[in-house]
C-alpha cells in the first residue's frame, strides 16, 4: 500500500476517530453497573475502527490492508448493534442514537469506498 504513513489524512480514519470520541462521551453517562459490560464493549469496539484502519495502512500489501479494513467494517456493525441495545435499555435517547447512527453510516460509506478502491488497484 502506498502512503502508509499518511493514514491520519484519510477521511475515514478522521471520522472514525471522531466516532470513537463520541462513544466515549456518551458512555460516561452509562450506569456504573455497565462499566465492565456494555460501556467497555462499546469503547473497545469504537476504538477498534480507527485502530484497524491505521494498522492496515501500515501493512506492505493491499491484501493485508484489506483484511484490517474488513475488521474495521465488522466493528462498525458491532457498534451499531450495541448502540441499539443501549437505546433499548434507555442508556441513550433517540437523539443520541440518531447522531451516532449517522456517524456510523458515514464511516461505513467511506470505508466501503476505501475497500473498493484498494480492490481495484
Helix (H) or strand (E) holding 68: helix 62-88
pTM to 2 decimal places: 0.92
pLDDT tens digits along 8-65: 999 999 999 999 999 999 999 999 999 999 999 999 999 999 999 999 999 889 999 9
pLDDT tens digits along 32-46: 999 999 999 999 999
Domains of the chain: 4-120 (1.20.1440.60)
Q: Which residue do the cell numbers 460501556 mark?
A: 39
Predicted confidence band at 3 (pLDDT cuts at 50, 70, 90)?
very low
By percentage, how much of the chain surpasses pLDDT 70? 96
With vertex at residue 18, the alpha carbon angle to CA 16 and CA 19, rounded to the nearest 5 degrees, is: 60
Query: Is residue 49 a contact partner of residue 76, using CB atoms and an 8 Å limit?
Result: yes
Amino acid at each position: 500500500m502506498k502512503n502508509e504513513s499518511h493514514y491520519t489524512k484519510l477521511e475515514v480514519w478522521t471520522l472514525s476517530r471522531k466516532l470513537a470520541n463520541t462513544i466515549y462521551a456518551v458512555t460516561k453517562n452509562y450506569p456504573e453497573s455497565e462499566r465492565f459490560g456494555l460501556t467497555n464493549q462499546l469503547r473497545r469496539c469504537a476504538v477498534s475502527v480507527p485502530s484497524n484502519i491505521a494498522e492496515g495502512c501500515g501493512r506492505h500489501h493491499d491484501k493485508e490492508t484489506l483484511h484490517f479494513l474488513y475488521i474495521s467494517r465488522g466493528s462498525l456493525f458491532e457498534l451499531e448493534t450495541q448502540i441499539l441495545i443501549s437505546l433499548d435499555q434507555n442508556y441513550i435517547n433517540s437523539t443520541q442514537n440518531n447522531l451516532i447512527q449517522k456517524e456510523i453510516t458515514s464511516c461505513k460509506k467511506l470505508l466501503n469506498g476505501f475497500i473498493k478502491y484498494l480492490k481495484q488497484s
